[in-house]
Amino acid sequence: MEVYKFTTTPPNSTKWIPGVVSEETNDWPIKFGTIYKLKDKSGSYSEVIVSALKAGKFIEWVAKEGNYHCRYNFKTVEKNCSVLEYLEWVETGELVEPFTQAILEKLKSVIEIS
């Protein structure tokens, strides 16, 4: 549950996603339809909307324009040990900057320190 809480709570994305300098939501606690607004280093904003959610189990976002999707699946293995399955895809075209293993390793290290 800690991994779920960390990855869905703003502004934690700024701690592990390269280029994200601010993150906020229009609702708290989050729910279906919550909008996450992310600002990058160049000052550009992007928005993703919670399109599926089961607290502690999974969360899925879709970009405002509907092409980009991102889903986190969470599984508790044992006390203080969880597995995060990270998925991202687009309906058309190719992913512009897909997450790398290094980004996910940074997430792991940031959570372990927290």
- What local confidence, expressed as pLDDT, does residue 1 receive? 80
The model's pTM is 0.92
- What local confidence, expressed as pLDDT, does residue 83 receive? 94
Where exactly are the structural domains of the chain? 2-113
Tell me the fold of 2-113. Answer: Alpha-D-Glucose-1,6-Bisphosphate; Chain A, domain 4 (3.30.530)
- What local confidence, expressed as pLDDT, does residue 22 receive? 98
Q: What is the pLDDT along the chain (114 residues), one digit of tens a residue?
A: 889 999 999 999 999 999 999 999 999 999 999 999 999 999 999 999 999 999 999 999 999 999 999 999 999 999 888 999 999 999 999 998 899 999 999 999 999 887
CA pair distance 17, 78, nearest whole angstrom = 26
CA pair distance 97, 73, nearest whole angstrom = 20
- What local confidence, expressed as pLDDT, does residue 79 receive? 85
Is it true that the peptide bond before 29 is cis, omega within 30 degrees of 0?
A: yes
Residue 11's nearest CA partner among 2, 25, 27, 23 is 23
CA pair distance 9, 7, nearest whole angstrom = 6
